[in-house]
Structure 1
Amino acid sequence: MTETLPAPVPIPREPRPDRDLAWVLCRACDAMVYAKRLRRSDSVCPECGHHHPLTAPERLAQLLDLGWDVLPTAVPDTDVLGFVDSKPYPDRLRDARRATGLDEAVLCARGRIGGHAVVVAAMDFRFLGGSLGAAVGEAITLAAETAERTRTPLLLVSASGGARMQEGILALMQMAKTSQALRRLDDAGVLTISLITDPTYGGVAASFATLCDVIVAEPGARLGFAGPRVIAQTIGETLPAGFQTAEYLLEHGIIDLIAPRGELRGALARLLSVAEDPALVGEPVDVLVRDAGQLPERHPWEAVRAARRFGRPTTLDYAHLLLQDFTELHGDRMAADCSAMICGLGRLAGMPVVLVGTQKGRTPAELPRRNYGMPTPAGYRKAARAMRLAGKLGLPVVSLVDTSGAFPGVAAEEQGQAVAIAENLRLLSGLPVPVVAVVTGEGGSGGALALALADEVLMCGNAVYSVITPEGCASILWKDAGSAPRAAEALQVDARSLLGLGVVDGVVPEAAHGDHLAAAENLGSALVGSLVGLSRMDNASRLARRHQRFRAFGAPAPIGDIA
């Protein structure tokens, strides 16, 4: 049934004195820019790339397809505190409305981006610094409630100096009110996206701006709770270069991606596409080998060498070869972005999926930058964040594993490496969506298992999976790392052995070394076949099956006989 919404309100036409100027001074590079040229580039300086502020109406016009409607919002004219600084608060509101043509510091609309439905709330810094007051909090909450009622993704565009001081404690309460509205969207399984523009501080940064599923930022946009001047004065330290900018925050795991203004529509459309449920493209082809007797016999050490051979497809290779509209997500939202862990959203043969996987690197120079594929605690927390998003949106999880193990450094231990792995195991054991894990190269110990507690565990024909590396086992038990081949044989790390033990459910045939397209085709067929079967099961049955799968390992009797 189609919902009937209130009639759209007219689009505000705000006064812009700078529109009459022929030339504009870029405040970033001091270049004189032809005003019409600046407007044609969505207010991005053609000389230095600085993103000049957009008004809320301009922002909506830039992002939304033609035919969007402004949502009506209540704008109370109450001055509960009777606040007066250099002028009474009602006078400040009246001046802001006259100067901007807006009723308040946010403008809400319903429309589409690249054909995908979305509810948008865009803030306007010109209106009292984009401050969060009762009217703004009410508008944001109403937009969230519209998104919940219509099951439409919500996009929040932030530009704010923080809570509105003239409204005192009532402004502070808007942080709770809007956060509560975002939580309801979590419970409803509705995608939320935050777009950070410059600047976003205080109560907005500490509530709805950073509570969304995906956080996108414009280049150079600043985000933080306290402003840099307050921080510097409080702690008496020189702040690092680029502090609180989008680039700094991406490195420190707070935001997911940076999108220049000219690429924003495309980036947002790709994200919104996963909130839809398109039909499977084509019929799945069963390529898996499920009988160990059909696999050739060979020494397990040969498999170890093959699994480590440089030039095998990486998680990112598979992501770009298999997934349409793939968007990589970054950061653990706490402290760091681990480059050894890849997470993202995309569509596999038309099915929206969440991808997690380890990344060793494509080139010798990339290997150390990726930490040789050994994730830190931040990497496992990033993967957990992506998997929780999959659970919220009801999307299957595809996990690709190629790691010698979790990073064993001092910093990793200080940051809780064991806890991060354990938390992932607990999360996966109850994640209410289909999960398929594939060991594509090395599957090393708990660092691999943290991504592989799945409904179906597959491995490539030349992959290996073990409790410890053969060299580590040989050094401990034989006191000789040179006995690694002997250890590999004893550990039975190869695909044939593991399929026979029931540790993996199927083996993906290997293509010729270096043929990434053929490898991706085989893997894609295996994944689609597994996911289609798992998606036909109800959640309770699938979770019970997953539990029984791992419950059976080491049990002294068939699982059906265990009380």
Structure 2
Amino acid sequence: MSRASARSVIKEIATGFEDLDVPRSGEPEDGPIGWPGYHAAREAAAERSGEDESVLCGTAKIGEVEAVVIAFEFGFLGGSIGQRTGDRVEAAFARATSAGLPVVSLIATGGSRMQHGMRALSQLQRIARAAAGARSVPQISVLRDPTTGGGWATLGASADVILALPGAQVGFAGSRVRPSDAPAEAYTAEAKLAWGQVDRIVQPADLPTVLERWLRLLASPTTEAAEPPGALGSAGLPDNGWAAVQAARSADRPRAAEYLETYFDWREDVSGDRCGGVDSGVLCGFGWRDGRTIAYAAQCGTPTSPAGFRTAARLVRLASRLGIPVLTLVDTPGAANDAAAERAGAGAAIAELFEAVASAAVPITTLVIGEGGSGGALAFAAPGSTWVTPGAYFSVTSPEAAAAILKLPADEVPALADRLRLRPQDLVDLGIARSVVGPARRV
């Protein structure tokens, strides 16, 4: 599928494809800068590929969801981006916006068309402007082989959800212009996944199903808030603060993954902060429950890194833009506070999530399912819309940290836990939580 023709790739994932009628822009025979032999090269590319440009744009159905499809034809001058490419992509996004249709970009390009000079490079600005103007609709990119240059830096990397085929070459620098000593593995879809720049590697046979699931999820806005999950496990309310802390720290209690599996019929994860980081202790994505979509950002009981906060912020902003309510699950001893976290901008990352939650245009529902350790937990919580399980706690800081700050001996820690009023019932009395949730129902 990576190097297959654009039309064959479309047939693999969609039905009923209809090309958009895009007027041909006037172009001299040898291109906008009079490149010698360009006309002959273009004619040969058309004969070889059966297409008259490097990109096909049209509408089709992926599963039961109608979408605008942008598919690059690598056989036409390496899928390079020229003037007419820009014309078609711009028209595709305009159609998506006017019709309220999601956009799926199937990318295979080496970048800008050298024979068009700066006229080719300037198409990246047109494409970026068109994509930015269509942020009211979901945008999904599929990275084929290769996805380099401006194709990666516009349609590829800017999409809401980024999928990639195994082994695809992905990077801003193409193979002929990168440093000679650069490791080839740095320019792969797998590397981009590890570095938080791709959401998922998808086998070609699975792509139609995965795309249909994503389109169903992202194209299903709703104004109704997510209901909080019920509690898993059989923990009763704790008698004192230290008992609450011990219950939340128990290795046997249910964690975020179990809550998500119980709550949703099915779900799809997003991965990474888009700038080099992945936090495996934060699960983010979109799930299907009772016929509608709910986004989620869930802590898994580990210290949350800057990448975790940035990924959650990215999730909240996307859900807010598409009109999808959000569920957050709080469970962390606190934000990661080692030197690596400080170097990666822990404070700025936490601030980013606080801002995303505070400015969200959709309802956010929070359930505290384990430890609620200080600001690293609070950044995931929705003011006025937070619930708590019987086996959880939420505190200004951990009892141990409070003892250190107040210069108290370690044997004072259990008593401090009580003074901090961190039990589930205390949180309700203080107005931090709306209530303690009852047992979960299985979907």
TM-score range, shorter chain: over 0.9
Question: Which residue in 2 is equivalent to 1:63?
Answer: 13
Deviations 1:376-400 (A, max 9, x none): 1111111111111011101101000
Give me the identity figure in percent: 35
- 1:54 corresponds to 2:4: yes
Pairwise CA distance, 1:240: 3.9
Question: Which residue in 1 is equivalent to 2:137?
Answer: 190
- 1:113 corresponds to 2:62: yes
Question: Which residue in 2 is equivalent to 1:320?
Answer: 261
Deviations 1:124-182 (A, max 9, x none): 11100100001111111111111111101000111111100111111111101011111
Native 8 Å contact 1:436 1:454 kept in 2: no
Partners of 2:228 and 2:316 lie apart in 1 by 26
Question: Which residue in 2 is equivalent to 1:535?
Answer: none
1:201-350 equivalences under 5 Å are: 201-233=148-180, 238-240=181-183, 242-277=185-220, 298-350=239-291
Partners of 2:370 and 2:33 lie apart in 1 by 67
- Label 1:286 to 1:436 Cα distance change in 2 as closer, same or farther (>3 A): closer
The residue type equivalent to 2:217 in the other structure is: V
Pairwise CA distance, 1:296: 5.3
User: Which of 113, 120, 123 is equivalent to 1:164?
Assistant: 113
Pairwise CA distance, 1:464: 0.2
Native 8 Å contact 1:252 1:336 kept in 2: yes
Pairwise CA distance, 1:74: 3.2
The residue type equivalent to 2:152 in the other structure is: A
User: Which of 173, 184, 188 is equivalent to 2:122?
Assistant: 173
Partners of 1:317 and 1:285 lie apart in 2 by 14
Gaps of at least 5 residues in structure 2 are none
Pairwise CA distance, 1:209: 1.8
Which is further off, 468-477 or 120-129?
468-477
User: Secondary structure of 1:242's partner?
Assistant: helix
Q: Which structure carries more relative contact order (alpha carbon 8 Å, separation 6+)?
A: 2
1:324-473 equivalences under 5 Å are: 324-360=265-301, 373-473=302-402
Pairwise CA distance, 1:483: 2.5
- Label 1:174 to 1:284 Cα distance change in 2 as closer, same or farther (>3 A): closer
Native 8 Å contact 1:158 1:194 kept in 2: yes
For normalisation by structure 2, the TM-score amounts to 0.93
The residue type equivalent to 2:306 in the other structure is: P
- Label 1:455 to 1:496 Cα distance change in 2 as closer, same or farther (>3 A): closer
User: Secondary structure of 2:10's partner?
Assistant: helix
The residue type equivalent to 2:59 in the other structure is: R
For normalisation by structure 1, the TM-score amounts to 0.74
Partners of 2:208 and 2:114 lie apart in 1 by 34
Native 8 Å contact 2:86 2:127 kept in 1: yes
Partners of 1:160 and 1:287 lie apart in 2 by 48
- 1:134 corresponds to 2:63: no
User: Secondary structure of 2:179's partner?
Assistant: helix
Question: Which residue in 2 is equivalent to 1:101?
Answer: 50
Deviations 1:101-136 (A, max 9, x none): 101111122111121111101101110010000111
- Label 1:479 to 1:344 Cα distance change in 2 as closer, same or farther (>3 A): same
Partners of 1:285 and 1:232 lie apart in 2 by 51
Question: Which residue in 2 is equivalent to 1:83?
Answer: 34
- Label 1:284 to 1:408 Cα distance change in 2 as closer, same or farther (>3 A): closer
User: Secondary structure of 1:347's partner?
Assistant: strand
Native 8 Å contact 2:266 2:287 kept in 1: yes
Question: Which residue in 1 is equivalent to 2:100?
Answer: 151
Cα RMSD for the two superposed structures:
2.3
Question: Which residue in 1 is equivalent to 2:422?
Answer: 493
Partners of 1:93 and 1:287 lie apart in 2 by 62
Deviations 1:413-472 (A, max 9, x none): 011101111221122112110011111100100100111134401111110000111122
Partners of 2:410 and 2:59 lie apart in 1 by 64
User: Secondary structure of 1:508's partner?
Assistant: coil
Partners of 2:227 and 2:178 lie apart in 1 by 56
Native 8 Å contact 1:118 1:153 kept in 2: yes
- Label 1:355 to 1:308 Cα distance change in 2 as closer, same or farther (>3 A): same
User: Which of 507, 528, 532 is equivalent to 2:436?
Assistant: 507
Native 8 Å contact 2:384 2:432 kept in 1: no
The residue type equivalent to 1:271 in the other structure is: W
Which is further off, 70-79 or 304-313?
70-79
- Label 1:264 to 1:454 Cα distance change in 2 as closer, same or farther (>3 A): farther
Partners of 1:520 and 1:171 lie apart in 2 by 56
Which is further off, 145-154 or 266-275?
266-275
Partners of 1:84 and 1:180 lie apart in 2 by 27
Pairwise CA distance, 1:81: 3.4
Partners of 1:297 and 1:444 lie apart in 2 by 18
User: Secondary structure of 2:98's partner?
Assistant: helix
Gaps of at least 5 residues in structure 1 are 1-42, 44-51, 289-294, 361-372, 512-518, 525-563
User: Secondary structure of 2:122's partner?
Assistant: helix
Pairwise CA distance, 1:328: 0.5
The residue type equivalent to 2:432 in the other structure is: V
Pairwise CA distance, 1:284: 7.7
- Label 1:484 to 1:143 Cα distance change in 2 as closer, same or farther (>3 A): same
Question: Which residue in 2 is equivalent to 1:363?
Answer: none
Pairwise CA distance, 1:54: 1.2
- Label 1:447 to 1:59 Cα distance change in 2 as closer, same or farther (>3 A): same
Which is further off, 76-85 or 329-338?
76-85
